[in-house]
Homo-oligomer: A and B are copies of this chain.
Amino acid sequence: MIWNNERVDEMSDATIYDIARKAGVSIATVSQVINGKGKISDKRRQEIYRIIEELNYRPSVIASALTGKKTFTLGLLIPDISNPFFAELARAVEDCGSRSRYSLVICSTDNKDDKVSGYLQLLQQKSVDGIIIGTGLEDIGILKPLLNKSIPVVMIAREMPGVQLPTVIVDDYAGGKQAAEHLLELHHQRMAIITEQPKVSSSRERLRGYSDAILSRGFELPDEMVKKTGENLLKDGKSRALELLTDSNPPSAIFCCNDMIAIGTLQAAKELGIRVPEQLSIIGFDNTILAAVTEPALTTLSQPTEMMGSMAVEILIRLSEGESAALERTVLKPDLVIRSSTAAAGNRALDG
């Protein structure tokens, strides 16, 4: 390699003992210098710093964690890091954490309970300082062993009924309502919804808000207008949309519980030759980068990912520093972003 000619033999990383020996002091003194504790003469301090630089010494986080200090590592459980919404959320969490020198361990659970509990166990064994859960869970019993331990946990973008944990969430119910109201204002009457699996709390709430808003205006949301996807958001979204759109009495508007599903729906419409938004209005959720690049661009509900990520991290850090767990529940507002996938209700028969 390029540095062939240089010494690469001192491979073993220096320890506090090496520093102490070289400086002719005890390891306690070195430790104090590093942690800015105790009273060390300026001369010694300088000298020790010099040697630390010289040997490129960095204290082992592992060893220090073993003495009861933090690992400066956080865990993030999400369904899938390759889903842009969660990638954006992860980025927010990472950024906020790294400002305080925390690292982030990513755990993609695919919404599978066994993956969740596997990751949870792993994170515990690794003594992370906190865990952020942003994934759905069928059996909350899985959390029990974790909650008996001392690791702080906060929920992000998801909730578990029956488990009280600090939570940072968007008002999904209100979001569903806003979606419905936007559509109602555009005079849609036959409205459908495609949700995620029922174990995803956010989807449940969005459905509830959507449904309530429709019902309160005297319209209805019949069962055949409510569809659920499985694991594969894009593919299943498209299939469900196909089902809806080939119904004998198809909807003029579909609310998709996230942008991925909305894209699947867009593809279904395209495949059937249905024009969006003229013949069909589609509204998504999350306002990921995807929503901005489709044609037509998606009307969607935007989540403040930045804010959610940093709030979750801040709570976790406070908790891990021993602050009493004020069982906070922060509910942020989603924002309706109107683009080009929604328009006044048309009539497919006339229009098409």
Query: Smallest distance from the beta carbon of A211 to chain B beta carbons, Å?
Result: 27
A-B pairs, top 3 by smallest CB distance, nearest first, are A295-B295, A87-B87, A82-B91
Identify which of residues 272-297 in chain A touch chain B, using a CB-to-CB cut-off of 8 Å. 289-290, 293-296
Identify which of residues 121-169 in chain A touch chain B, using a CB-to-CB cut-off of 8 Å. 121-127, 140, 144-145, 147-150, 162-164
Q: In which size bucket is the chain A interface?
A: 35 or more
Whether A149 and B11, one on each chain, are in contact in the complex, defined by CB atoms closer than 8 angstroms, is yes
| Neighbouring B residues of A8 by C-beta, 8 Å | 147-148
A-B contact pairs, 12 of them (CB 8 A): A1-B147, A13-B150, A56-B145, A72-B126, A73-B126, A81-B87, A81-B94, A84-B87, A101-B122, A103-B107, A103-B126, A293-B293
Interface residues of A (CB under 8 A from B): 1-3, 8, 10-13, 56, 58-63, 65-66, 71-73, 80-84, 87-88, 90-91, 94-95, 101, 103-108, 121-127, 140, 144-145, 147-150, 162-164, 234, 263, 266, 289-290, 293-296
Q: Which residue of B lies closest to A59 (CB)?
A: B125
Whether A148 and B81, one on each chain, are in contact in the complex, defined by CB atoms closer than 8 angstroms, is no
* In the bound complex, CA of A62 to CA of B65 (Å): 7
Query: Smallest distance from the beta carbon of A192 to chain B beta carbons, Å?
Result: 21
Of B3, B60, B66, B71, the contact of A63 (CB 8 Å cutoff): B66
| Neighbouring B residues of A150 by C-beta, 8 Å | 11-13
Query: Smallest distance from the beta carbon of A83 to chain B beta carbons, Å?
Result: 8
Q: Which residue of B lies closest to A1 (CB)?
A: B164
* In the bound complex, CA of A289 to CA of B12 (Å): 44
* In the bound complex, CA of A295 to CA of B163 (Å): 44
Query: Smallest distance from the beta carbon of A146 to chain B beta carbons, Å?
Result: 10
Q: Which residue of B lies closest to A121 (CB)?
A: B58
* In the bound complex, CA of A2 to CA of B162 (Å): 6
**Given A66-B62, A149-B11, A290-B290, is A108 in contact with B94 using a C-beta cutoff of 8 Å?**
yes
